[in-house]
Amino acid sequence: MGYTIGQIAQALGAEAFGALDIQVHGVAEPTTASATDLALATNPKYAAGLAQGQARAAMLWPGADWQGLGLQAAIIAPRPRFAMAGLSAMMDQGQGFGTGIHPSAVIDPSAELAGDVCVGPLAVIGAGARIGAGSVIGPQCFIGAGAQLGAQAYLREGVRIGARVRIGARFIAQPGAVVGGDGFSFVTPEPSNIEQVRSSLGDQGAVKNQSYARIHSLGGVEIGDDVELGANACIDRGTVRDTRIGNGVKFDNLAQIGHNVVIGNDCLICAQVGVAGSTQIGNNVVLGGQTGVSDNLFIGDNVITGGATKVLANVPAGRVMLGYPAMKMDAHIDTYKALRRLPRLAQQVAELRRVVFKSSDNT
Would you name the residues annotated as active-site residues? 259
Q: Label residues 285-299 b or e (16+ Cβ within 10 Å = b).
A: bbbbbbbbbbeebeb
Contact criterion met (CB below 8 Å) for 258 and 252: no
Which span (50-58, 64-72, 111-119, 150-158) binds its own copies, by CB under 8 A? 150-158
By CB under 8 A, the residues from 266 to 295 that bind its own copies are 266, 268, 270-272, 274, 276, 283-284, 286, 289-290, 292, 294
Q: How many CB atoms within 10 Å of residue 11?
A: 14
Pick from 146, 150, 168, 300 the residue near its own copies by CB under 8 A.
Answer: 146
Q: Is 313 in the site for its own copies (CB under 8 A)?
A: no
Minimum separation from the CB atom of position 324 to its own copies (A):
6
Nearer to its own copies (CB atom), residue 56 or residue 160:
160
Q: How many CB atoms within 10 Å of residue 54?
A: 15
Q: Label residues 237-248 b or e (16+ Cβ within 10 Å = b).
A: bbbeebbbbbbb
Which span (1-9, 27-35, 45-53, 67-75) binds its own copies, by CB under 8 A? 27-35
CA distance 285 to 290: 15
By CB under 8 A, the residues from 3 to 22 that bind its own copies are none
The one-character DSSP state at 121 is: T
User: Roughly how many angstroms between the first and final C-alpha of the chain, as a whole number?
Assistant: 75
Pick from 63, 68, 216, 358 the residue near its own copies by CB under 8 A.
Answer: 216
Binding mask 69-108 vs its own copies (x if CB under 8 A, - otherwise)? ----------x-xx-xxx-xx-xxxxxx-x---x-x-x--
Minimum separation from the CB atom of position 164 to its own copies (A):
8
Q: Is 252 in the site for its own copies (CB under 8 A)?
A: yes
CA distance 207 to 223: 41
Binding mask 115-144 vs its own copies (x if CB under 8 A, - otherwise)? -----xxx-x-xx-----------xx-x-x
By CB under 8 A, the residues from 165 to 204 that bind its own copies are 172, 174-176, 178, 180-182, 184, 186-191, 193-194, 197, 201-204
Q: Is 244 in the site for its own copies (CB under 8 A)?
A: no
Q: Is 228 in the site for its own copies (CB under 8 A)?
A: yes
Pick from 11, 163, 298, 314 the residue near its own copies by CB under 8 A.
Answer: 163
CA distance 184 to 177: 18
Closest CA to 191 of 207, 169, 170, 202: 207
Nearer to its own copies (CB atom), residue 68 or residue 103:
103
| Amino acid identity at 196 | Q
Contact criterion met (CB below 8 Å) for 133 and 152: yes
List strands edge to edge, sheet with 280-281: 112-113, 130-131, 148-149, 166-167, 221-223, 243-245, 262-263, 280-281, 298-299
Site size for its own copies (CB under 8 A): 146
Q: Is 333 in the site for its own copies (CB under 8 A)?
A: yes
